[in-house]
């Protein structure tokens, strides 16, 4: 891909060329202008792995741990290395730009995409994102940091105005982007779906031209979120360069006409085109040729890195009596829980992808333990029935279901198939399914597979669809999701609820499952299904269990064990783009199951998989809790490494875990009402709030235990030439090699003109030490960032004259052992920019 001279090319473009460049041609590609050497660029999700161009039956990829896990590493060099590997993955997929990282703020534990973001603190998110961006862009691939700004909930995300004070916008929601741009210089920024204070982000001249470009000096591309452009003239004038996806809804001939009639001046159009051309120039450094074939990069080095990143993000929340690490040899081990035999390796929505492989916790544990590992499911945790593909065999003998595609409906004699595939994953988003043999948007597909039950009982089957679908077992209709349909929230809110049916089965007999599907145009829903081309289909099934009997069985199994591991938590159904969680509880009856197993065996460890906090009413009854997040391809190995001591946990919570959702500062304001969401907690997000009102949390921001112990000594704080230098000696005082995070907080020692949080994170570093080893580490923070708040009277940052306490600890917990020093600001000053 050749380099271009932006101004020379711009001068040669016709009006038609210019307008074309400002929108995509399809879901993932921009418009080319071959006559001027401008190629079509390929964009790709996403936040925790590079999917490529296909939602449906995509090319496998490396799945990284989720955003909150990446944030919990508190390891800047490691995040840069992760970013570089993401860039190499993008090159393998023929992509020029990765749509990530995500750095929106977790105002509430209930945010559907909370797992995607790096944390609740803007300094952690901003500095971490800068490293990921830097790593990605070392490869020439560009990063697109998102979603600017206040895109912090899924409820009516396309139709909500975030009502937020100027101060909170700057100190919390914008600061992460400010630091990411300052430290990472991303090639692109993506606007949020939402509006801020009455103006949609993609139409906000104040945000895009004022804050992003003029104040922060951002010189890259500004693109919309997918279908997040809402106007022709306003968005162009505001500074939105690229409308995605294509084909355009708001540009094209409409924009061309508005330029010809001076509603949009040609110089304004040229500014937008400059943004696109500059981005094309930056992408040339990737060496990715236009229209490259999508491939894979599943190397031993990538696998090793995924395992390392996952291990450093795992947080040991509790370890009473040093029950962990477990011993692998000569111990009877029992594993309980619904997350044991499945790999919950990513959240839902844009973060989902088809992984190269996925290690289940059970597989990881069995690799560490000699002899048989006892197992009981204990209870179910699914929101929708587990995908059926994993238990079916296709007619050709492969795992999954055979998909045959037709132009004609079932019952038409002699119809000819146009396509045939075998799919293991029976969750299909057909937005990008293409088949040249299909004659129209109306088409049909049959999905077939069989299974043999290992015991008598009842099976439950479920179907979600955008389109229509009927499920048959041995020729009998079990689920009819065609005759009448009910709106659901799956697949970004485009599809039906899960309609279900039951079948009695007998051990050893074969059961043929068939689904007759018709494409999206047959849908009877009145909702938003226009975005998804061919439609959607999700087919799930599982054996029906008696919850009380399963809990009793699990408790009985645990009684005689030396070590018990409960694999609990959520999955991509519960935490997903398009919908927020209704509460902070685990799916019932998981709490009851955990309590029963813990009562049966005091050596019970809970491995919790979730991207955001869950309530833990049983916390005092279990010996240990490990927060494992969604761990990517290496999920099971990462969990087992920590449980059995091959990895000494060093992760720190990237967000506070409240005891109850009612304790969260956004509890009363976390949904759209009357088209708006009021950010009533202002700057008091996360730990800032809990400390200020002295409300006890379950686990504080920055918390995380180790299998060894550390000591901080010899704190020195020096302020000179606009920089605060914080130095401390860290010593490993235990018997095991491990890593510790030095967290640097700053607190004003005098009353400010405005109320301020008790303390705020300003920097961090991670250091690995052998037993008895000591190292001197330094954290540097610019004085203006260390001391300032946003002064709404002047619309500038203000660093007030006075003394500022520097607090160094390994957690935000006010009860923790800390070292304190201070620095002085001699004279009040105001500033803007980076």
Active site residues: 225
- Residue 664 corresponds to which tokens in the numbers above? 């969260």
User: Could you tell me the CA-to-CA distances from 125 to 162, 345, 547, 569 in Å, in that order?
Assistant: 20, 21, 40, 24
b/e map of 416-433 (b: 16 or more CB within 10 Å)?
Answer: eebbebbbbbbbbbbbbb
Q: Which residues pair with 622 in a beta bridge?
A: none
Q: Do the Cβ atoms of 175 and 122 come closer than 8 Å?
A: yes
- Calpha distance 307→415 (Å, rounded): 49
Q: Do the beta carbons of residue 519 and residue 441 sit within 8 Å?
A: yes
CB 191 within 8 A of CB 240: yes
- The Cα 260–Cα 248 span in angstroms is 18
Q: Under a CB-based contact definition with an 8 Å cutoff, are residues 19 and 256 in contact?
A: yes
The answer for 352, left when phi > 0, alpha when psi is -120 to 50, beta otherwise, is: beta
Token pair 């999701």 in the structure block, residue: 481
Secondary-structure percent of the chain, ordered helix, strand, coil, rounded to 5: 25, 30, 45
Residue partners of 255: CB distance under 8 A and separation at least 6? 19, 22, 232, 236, 248, 264, 269
Residue for token digits 């496998």? 60
**How far apart are the C-alpha atoms of 336 and 563, rounded to whole Å?**
11
SS3 assignment for 368-428: CCCCCCEEECCCCCCCCCCEHHHHCECCCCCECEEEEEECCCCCCCCCCEEEEEEECCCEE
Token pair recorded at residue 104: 């929106």
Residues 154-159: contacts with CB under 8 Å, at least 24 apart: 154/111, 154/112, 154/113, 154/577, 154/578, 154/579, 154/580, 155/579, 155/580, 155/670, 155/671, 155/672, 155/677, 156/672, 156/675, 157/193, 157/194, 158/193, 158/194, 158/227, 158/228, 159/672, 159/675
Kind of pairing between the strands at 142-148 and 97-99? parallel
| C-alpha span between 63 and 181 (Å, rounded) | 25
Backbone angles phi, psi at 809, to 5 degrees: -155, 180
What tokens does 799 get? Answer: 């660093």
Give me the residue label for tokens 């009006």: 15
DSSP string, 657-690: B-SSGGGSTTGGG-S-BTTEEE-TTTT--THHHH
* DSSP characters over 564-598: EEEEEE--TTTSBTTB--S-SPPSTTHHHHHHHHH
819-825 and 760-769 beta bridge pairing:
unpaired
Query: 560: which 2 tokens?
Result: 């005689």
Rounded Cα distance between 322 and 349, Å, is 38
* Residue 711 tokens, joined: 């000591």
| Pairwise CA distance, residues 415 & 410, whole Å | 8
For 382, 389, 393, 539, the CA distances from 451, given in Å and listed in that order, are: 21, 10, 6, 14
φ and ψ at residue 820, rounded to 5 degrees: -130, 145
Using omega within 30 degrees of 0 as the cis cutoff, is the peptide bond preceding 782 cis? no
């Amino acid at each position: 891909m050749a380099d271009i001279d932006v101004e020379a090319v711009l001068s040669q473009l016709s009006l038609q060329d210019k307008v074309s460049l400002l929108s995509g041609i399809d879901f993932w590609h921009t418009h080319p202008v071959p006559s001027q050497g401008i190629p079509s660029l390929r964009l790709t999700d996403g936040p925790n792995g590079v999917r490529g161009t296909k939602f449906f039956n995509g090319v496998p990829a490396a799945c990284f741990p989720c955003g909150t896990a990446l944030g919990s590493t508190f390891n800047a060099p490691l995040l840069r290395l992760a970013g570089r590997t993401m860039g190499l993955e993008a090159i393998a997929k023929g992509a020029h730009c990765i749509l990530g990282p995500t750095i929106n703020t977790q105002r509430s534990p209930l945010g559907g995409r909370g797992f995607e973001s790096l944390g609740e603190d803007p300094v952690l998110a901003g500095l971490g994102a800068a490293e990921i961006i830097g790593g990605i862009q070392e490869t020439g691939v560009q990063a697109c940091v998102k979603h600017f700004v206040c895109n912090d909930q899924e409820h009516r995300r396309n139709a909500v105005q975030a009502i937020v004070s100027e101060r909170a916008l700057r100190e919390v929601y914008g600061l992460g982007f400010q630091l990411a741009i300052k430290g990472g210089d991303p090639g692109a920024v993506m606007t949020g779906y939402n509006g801020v204070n009455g103006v949609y982000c993609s139409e906000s001249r104040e945000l895009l031209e004022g804050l992003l470009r003029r104040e922060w000096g951002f010189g890259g591309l500004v693109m919309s979120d997918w279908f997040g452009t809402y106007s022709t003239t306003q968005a162009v004038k505001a500074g939105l360069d690229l409308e995605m996806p294509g084909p355009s809804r708001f540009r094209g001939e409409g924009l061309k006409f508005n330029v010809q009639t001076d509603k949009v001046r040609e110089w304004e159009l040229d500014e937008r085109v400059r943004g696109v051309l500059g981005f094309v120039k930056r992408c040339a450094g990737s060496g990715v040729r236009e229209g490259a074939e999508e491939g894979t990069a599943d190397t031993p080095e990538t696998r090793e890195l995924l395992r390392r990143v996952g291990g450093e993000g795992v947080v040991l929340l509790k370890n009473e009596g040093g029950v962990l690490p477990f011993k692998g040899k000569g111990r009877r081990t029992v594993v309980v829980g619904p997350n044991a035999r499945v790999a919950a390796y990513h959240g839902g929505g844009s973060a989902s992808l088809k992984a190269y492989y996925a290690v289940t916790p059970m597989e990881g544990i069995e690799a560490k333990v000699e002899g048989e590992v006892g197992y009981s499911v204990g209870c179910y945790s699914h929101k929708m029935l587990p995908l059926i593909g994993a238990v079916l065999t296709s007619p050709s003998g492969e795992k999954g279901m055979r998909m045959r595609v037709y132009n004609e409906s079932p019952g038409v004699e002699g119809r000819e198939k146009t396509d045939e595939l075998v799919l293991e994953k029976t969750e299909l988003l057909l937005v990008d399914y293409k088949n040249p043999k299909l004659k129209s948007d109306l088409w049909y597909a049959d999905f077939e597979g069989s299974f043999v039950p290992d015991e008598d009982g009842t099976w439950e089957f479920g179907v979600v669809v955008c389109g229509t679908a009927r499920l048959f077992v041995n020729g009998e209709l079990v689920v009819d999701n065609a005759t009448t349909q009910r709106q659901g929230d799956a697949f970004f809110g485009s599809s039906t609820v899960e309609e279900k049916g039951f079948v009695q089965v007998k051990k050893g007999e074969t059961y043929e499952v068939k689904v007759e599907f018709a494409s999206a145009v047959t849908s009877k829903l009145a909702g938003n299904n226009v975005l998804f081309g061919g439609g959607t289909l999700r087919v799930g099934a599982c054996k029906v269990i008696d919850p009380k009997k399963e809990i009793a069985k699990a408790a009985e199994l645990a009684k005689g064990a030396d070590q018990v591991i409960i694999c609990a938590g959520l999955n991509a159904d519960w935490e997903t783009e398009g919908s927020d969680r209704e509460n902070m509880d685990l799916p019932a009856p998981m709490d009851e199951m955990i309590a029963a197993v813990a009562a049966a065996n005091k050596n019970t460890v809970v491995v919790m998989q979730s991207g955001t906090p869950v309530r833990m009413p049983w916390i005092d009854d279990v010996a240990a809790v490990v927060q494992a997040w969604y761990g990517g391809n290496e999920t099971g190995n990462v969990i087992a490494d920590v449980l059995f001591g091959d990895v000494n946990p060093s992760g720190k919570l990237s967000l506070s875990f409240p005891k109850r959702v009612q304790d969260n500062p956004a509890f009363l304001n976390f949904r759209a009402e009357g088209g708006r969401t009021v950010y009533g907690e202002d700057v008091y997000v996360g730990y800032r709030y809990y400390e200020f009102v002295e409300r006890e949390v379950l686990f504080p921001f920055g918390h995380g235990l180790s299998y060894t112990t550390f000591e901080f000594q010899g704190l020195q704080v020096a302020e000179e030439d606009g920089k605060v230098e914080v130095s401390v000696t860290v010593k490993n005082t235990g018997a095991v090699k491990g890593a510790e995070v030095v967290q640097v907080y700053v607190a004003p020692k005098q009353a400010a003109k405005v109320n301020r949080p008790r303390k705020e994170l300003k920097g961090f570093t991670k250091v690995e030490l052998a037993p008895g080893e000591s190292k001197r580490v330094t954290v540097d923070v610019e004085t203006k960032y260390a001391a300032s708040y946003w002064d709404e009277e002047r619309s500038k940052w203000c660093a007030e004259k006075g003394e500022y306490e520097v607090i160094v600890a390994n957690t935000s917990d006010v009860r923790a052992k800390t070292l304190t020093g201070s620095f002085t600001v001699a004279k009040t000053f105001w500033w803007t920019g980076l």
